[in-house]
Amino acid sequence: MKRLIVAILMILSIVLLNAQNKIHPINFSIWNPVAIASYDSLCTINFSIGLYSKTYRLNGIGLNILAHKNQENINGLTFSGVGEYVNGNMKGLQISGLFNMVKGHMHGIQIATIQNTNVMHTKGIMIAGITNFSIGNSRGLQLAGAANMAGSNFSGLQASLGVNIASSSSNLFQISALSNVCADRIHGVQIGAGNYAAGVKGFQLGLLNFSTGEVRGLQIGIINYSEDTSAVKLGLVNISPRTRIQLMAYESNIVQNNLAVRFRNGYSYTIIGIGTNYKTFDNKTSGAIIYRFGLGVNVFRVFYISADAGYNHIENLNDGNKTDFPNRLYSLQARCNLEFHPFHRFGIFASGGYSHTRHYDSKETFENKPIVEFGIVLF
């Protein structure tokens, strides 16, 4: 008799439990609470359509002209004309006219014209017209018109026309038109106009590359900076805490008055400068932009012997048709230099070399002549 009573009670509990877990295949909602299905914790919707829907749980498809709010989890596909808010987890495809937000875990694809926001772990693809923002750990792809932001560790690809930001990374690839930032050491690649990382294991490619930590890889850019003095840098200007930055002022028989900055890194250096006037133009107003790369060594502490190769862009600031001189030229130069430093932050130097000057728009040589230069070095 006892066994029979226990069996009856078990059957009744199963029946009552199934009765409580309500499943609605279809829900039509004009504006919550005007809807076919009720909004409660025991209700699961398979297909929801309406103007504005508020569901507790969705396993299937949700289509809303304006917006949709879901309290727990979604497994499936949702589309909203304005926005989609999920208080739980989202697994599937989420498309909105303006924004998507998931407070739980997001596994799948998000597409919005303005912004996608995920609070917990993200695994998948985020595509937004303006910004993507993931607060928890993320893995996958972020593609945005303006900015991608990852508040925790990010693994995958961030691509935008503006800015990519990640707090930390593992196997991260950042590419942007403006800047890429990794607050921790980056394990991967940064490609953009400006790149910053607390350390690099990989490479940075951009106009300006900046690393405040150890670099185990390569920096390629116009200006490269790293606090790791052993980092490999390829650029017009390479700077580290040990770089000696010096000001140079000198006279030349090629371009009369010159002012330049020299960046010395161990045995190598680069020089960037400007000058006026190009003497062959008969003292007509003209200017030059100067770049040189060279190698040098200190001798007896007060002498510095060096040799460099350089490029000069020469611009005729007058109308070339009226002066009988070309509007612009370029010059390839090689020099040997001797410096004398009676004081640590002051020196004088003399240079000799050869200059080969050509037209940009033809293969003709404009002139070949020796170089003679004298000047001072500060700092």
Q: Of the residues 239, 268, 297, which one is the last residue of a structural domain? A: 239
Q: Of the residues 239, 270, 300, which one is the last residue of a structural domain? A: 239
- 216: in domain: yes
Residue 320 pairs with which residues in a beta bridge? none
Q: Of the residues 193, 222, 239, which one is the last residue of a structural domain? A: 239
Whether 45 and 148 share a structural domain: yes
- 3: in domain: no
pLDDT tens, position by position, 31-82:
777 666 666 667 788 888 888 988 889 999 999 999 999 999 999 999 999 9
pLDDT tens, position by position, 188-214:
999 999 999 999 999 999 999 999 988
Which of 28-42, 46-60, 252-266, 363-377 has the least mean pLDDT?
28-42
CB 254 within 8 A of CB 244: no
Whether 312 and 248 share a structural domain: yes
pLDDT tens, position by position, 213-254:
888 989 999 999 998 877 788 889 999 999 999 999 999 999
Quick one: pLDDT at residue 41? 66
Whether 230 and 252 share a structural domain: no
Rounded to 5 degrees, φ, ψ at 18 are -65, -35
Whether 218 and 293 share a structural domain: no
- 278: in domain: yes
- 4: in domain: no
Whether 300 and 229 share a structural domain: no
Neighbours of 34 (CB within 10 A): 11
DSSP secondary structure letter of residue 321:
H
Gap between the Cα atoms of 112 and 80, Å rounded: 10
Whether 252 and 273 share a structural domain: yes
DSSP secondary structure letter of residue 345:
T
Residue 173, C-beta contacts closer than 8 angstroms, at least 6 positions apart: 156, 157, 158, 188, 189
Which of the four pLDDT bands, split at 50, 70 and 90, describes residue 174?
A: very high
Whether 222 and 274 share a structural domain: no
Which domain covers residue 188, as residue numbers?
19-239
- 343: in domain: yes
Gap between the Cα atoms of 262 and 276, Å rounded: 18
Quick one: pLDDT at residue 27? 76
Q: Which amino acid is at 223?
A: I
Is omega for the bond preceding 100 within 30 degrees of 0, making it cis?
no
Quick one: pLDDT at residue 101? 96
Number of domains present in the structure of the chain: 2
